[in-house]
Structure 1
Amino acid sequence: MANPIIVITGATSGLGQLVACEMANRGAHLILTARSKSRAEATENRIKERMPSAPINFFFGDLSLMKDVKRIGQEISEKFPKIDVLLNNAGLHAFEQRITSEGFAEMMAVNYFAPWLLTHSLRHSLQKAGSATIVNVASEASRRHGKFQIPADLLDTAPFTYRGSSELYGKTKLLNIMFTAELARQWGGTGISVHALNPGFNVTGLGRELWFASLLERLLNFFRIGDPRRGADSMIRLMTDSKYQGVTGGYYNVGSGDLIVPINPGGDKAMQRLLWNETSAILREKGFFES
């Protein structure tokens, strides 16, 4: 792709910011979502230090709120009728239950509903690119997803413990894998390729709610454990390598780029379809989605 137009969520820190910097160096026009204007300015400054001429547009909103996600999607699609890449990278590992003003569990909203809704909001712009790519950031944490019940899991707002948070986080990532596979079927023939990625263990801000997060990050960096550049490089490969163009619906591993077989029920087509139908029904009932 020459000068691709790329949408990245969660680009003001961690893997998303690394990807944004590298793709700016490659001539991309960056469309970045952000909640904080100060962090957006810091990100823009970091990118401009390396590539002063890089075109960057920020769209502001809270990805835990579907009204914001829908608005952001509409604003982006109105300004950019053609989009080459969508990287659904934003993620949250919450260690206590927080319920949004719209009635969703915050972690489920950010990790699953937001990429689902944003992707649909940008469909027409992606389709107009002719050969667009969507990358959904999942995780091998999906293998520790606990009990699986659809649609109950999507609307579960019960309190959870620090330990219980890992199962819920893993569940949201399994949903991303299942969404990717069903999206590939639903959008077959549109020219849009869809991939899910396990970015591996990375020292990023994902665990920022831990009281010892900053100390842990310094220790891991000192011992060179969890280098986020590996995850960022894998995202970029899925976005740009011709090997992944024309194939769709796969779940790929960091580093090797090989396919991963997801844990059950991740590969179950009937469950993938059920998840799709229930998700669209929930978002439609709340007025955020029109099929």
Structure 2
Amino acid sequence: MMTKPIIVITGATSGLGQLVALEMAKQGAHLVLTARSKTRSEVTEKMIKESVPAAEISFFYGDLSSMRDVTRLGQEISSVFPKIDVLINNAGLHGFEQRITADGFSEMMAVNYFAPWLLTQTLERSLRAAGNAKIINVASEASRRHGVLKLPGDLLNTASFTYRGSSEIYGKTKLLNIMFTSELARRWAGTGISVHALNPGFNVTGLGRELWFSSMLKHLLNFFRIGDPRKGAEIIIRLMSDPKYQESSGGYFNVGTGNPIVPVQPGGDRVMENKLWNDTRDILQQKGFFGN
């Protein structure tokens, strides 16, 4: 009797992550979902089980802006699931004002970049145990509006920004996701684990929830069928299920066509990607969140 694949998804109580969770439940996966709100997790579980009554769902609770929570989440998940088949780093935030986390990071940088980096490392043993695990990192073509990347300064930048300036910060975090994917593929070569990043396109999701008119905008865009998150969910599912994407690792792929995208510089620059990895590791080690 075949065991159900174990799929870990962050940001699964709304948007892309929720849609992917529902589809993978239909395909018989055991869902391992991270959540910050018990209320939203209960709504998500009810929605999935209305469609798939036999769905197996395990929730783990924590705040992805807290590296202590991220480490704890990873440890709790790996202790319950010593083998993980898929990790989908989907959770993301586009904040329109600067907020500093308890760890001293910009909230956007913490949630969008440091959290997936650290969670992936914490789950490494369980991913390796699967033999052919897959890691999917949700990036974005917003990365092309990142300005100029400065390392390690941008990782630690907590300066205030304007509504307009928020797009540059968000773009940087998404560029870092792409660069992290590429470097991780090189470092984990030979483990059987494949890792890819993707551009989900413009989606009507929780990313814009801080806009006062976000609800009205969502209804308007849905009416005109613009920003359908189902398209973003579809490319995530293809990357984990289509055998052709398992023949390589470290790619960045586009919504719709599924074709590879050449990332904006310094994405693809091995020297900069290696520096990003080392700077990230050093920062997290100095703050006590990553072992030597």
Q: Tell me which interval the TM-score lies in, with the shorter structure as reference length.
A: over 0.9
**Aligned equivalent of 2:209:** 208
1:30-41 equivalent positions in 2, closer than 5 A: 30-41=31-42
**Is residue 85 of structure 2 the alignment partner of residue 84 of structure 1?**
yes
Alpha-carbon deviations, 1:23-76, whole Å to 9, x = none? 000000000000000000000000000111111000000000000000000000
**Is residue 223 of structure 2 the alignment partner of residue 225 of structure 1?**
no
SS at match of 2:164: helix
Native 8 Å contact 1:2 1:27 kept in 2: no
Alpha-carbon deviations, 1:51-105, whole Å to 9, x = none? 1111100000000000000000000000000000000000000000000011000
SS at match of 2:279: helix
SS at match of 1:57: strand
C-alpha displacement at 1:8, in angstroms?
0.1
SS at match of 1:15: helix
C-alpha displacement at 1:148, in angstroms?
1.1
**Aligned equivalent of 1:132:** 133
Q: Which amino acid aligns with 2:288?
A: G
**Aligned equivalent of 1:108:** 109
Q: Which amino acid aligns with 2:230?
A: R
**Aligned equivalent of 2:122:** 121
**Aligned equivalent of 2:5:** 4
**Is residue 261 of structure 2 the alignment partner of residue 250 of structure 1?**
no
Q: What is the CA–CA distance in structure 2 between the aligned matches of 1:239 and 1:16, rounded to whole Å?
A: 14
1:1-291 equivalent positions in 2, closer than 5 A: 3-291=4-292
TM-score, scaled to structure 2: 0.99
Alpha-carbon deviations, 1:251-286, whole Å to 9, x = none? 000011110000010110000000000000000111
SS at match of 1:277: helix
Q: What is the CA–CA distance in structure 1 between the aligned matches of 2:264 and 2:18, rounded to whole Å?
A: 29
SS at match of 1:30: strand
Q: What is the CA–CA distance in structure 1 between the aligned matches of 2:149 and 2:195, rounded to whole Å?
A: 24
Q: What is the CA–CA distance in structure 1 between the aligned matches of 2:272 and 2:192, rounded to whole Å?
A: 25
C-alpha displacement at 1:245, in angstroms?
1.1
Report the CA distance shift for 1:223/1:2 in structure 2 as closer, same or farther (over 3 A).
Answer: farther
Native 8 Å contact 1:140 1:198 kept in 2: yes
Q: What is the CA–CA distance in structure 1 between the aligned matches of 2:65 and 2:206, rounded to whole Å?
A: 17
SS at match of 2:165: helix
Once superposed, which parts of structure 1, at least 4 consecutive aligned residues long, lie more than 3 Å away?
Answer: none
Q: What is the CA–CA distance in structure 1 between the aligned matches of 2:203 and 2:97, rounded to whole Å?
A: 22
Q: What is the CA–CA distance in structure 2 between the aligned matches of 1:38 and 1:180, rounded to whole Å?
A: 32
SS at match of 2:88: strand
Q: Which amino acid aligns with 1:111?
A: N
C-alpha displacement at 1:246, in angstroms?
3.0
Unaligned runs of 5+ in 2: none
SS at match of 1:168: helix
- Aligned pair count? 291
Q: What is the root-mean-square deviation in Å for CA atoms of aligned residues?
A: 0.8
Q: What is the CA–CA distance in structure 1 between the aligned matches of 2:3 and 2:15, rounded to whole Å?
A: 25
Q: What is the CA–CA distance in structure 1 between the aligned matches of 2:75 and 2:259, rounded to whole Å?
A: 34
SS at match of 1:270: helix
Q: What is the CA–CA distance in structure 2 between the aligned matches of 1:262 and 1:246, rounded to whole Å?
A: 20
Q: What is the CA–CA distance in structure 2 between the aligned matches of 1:290 and 1:91, rounded to whole Å?
A: 25
Q: What is the CA–CA distance in structure 2 between the aligned matches of 1:239 and 1:202, rounded to whole Å?
A: 20
C-alpha displacement at 1:2, in angstroms?
6.4
Unaligned runs of 5+ in 1: none
Q: What is the CA–CA distance in structure 2 between the aligned matches of 1:179 and 1:51, rounded to whole Å?
A: 35
C-alpha displacement at 1:225, in angstroms?
0.6
Identity between Structure 1 and Structure 2 (%): 73
C-alpha displacement at 1:205, in angstroms?
1.2
Q: What is the CA–CA distance in structure 2 between the aligned matches of 1:226 and 1:86, rounded to whole Å?
A: 24
Native 8 Å contact 1:3 1:26 kept in 2: no
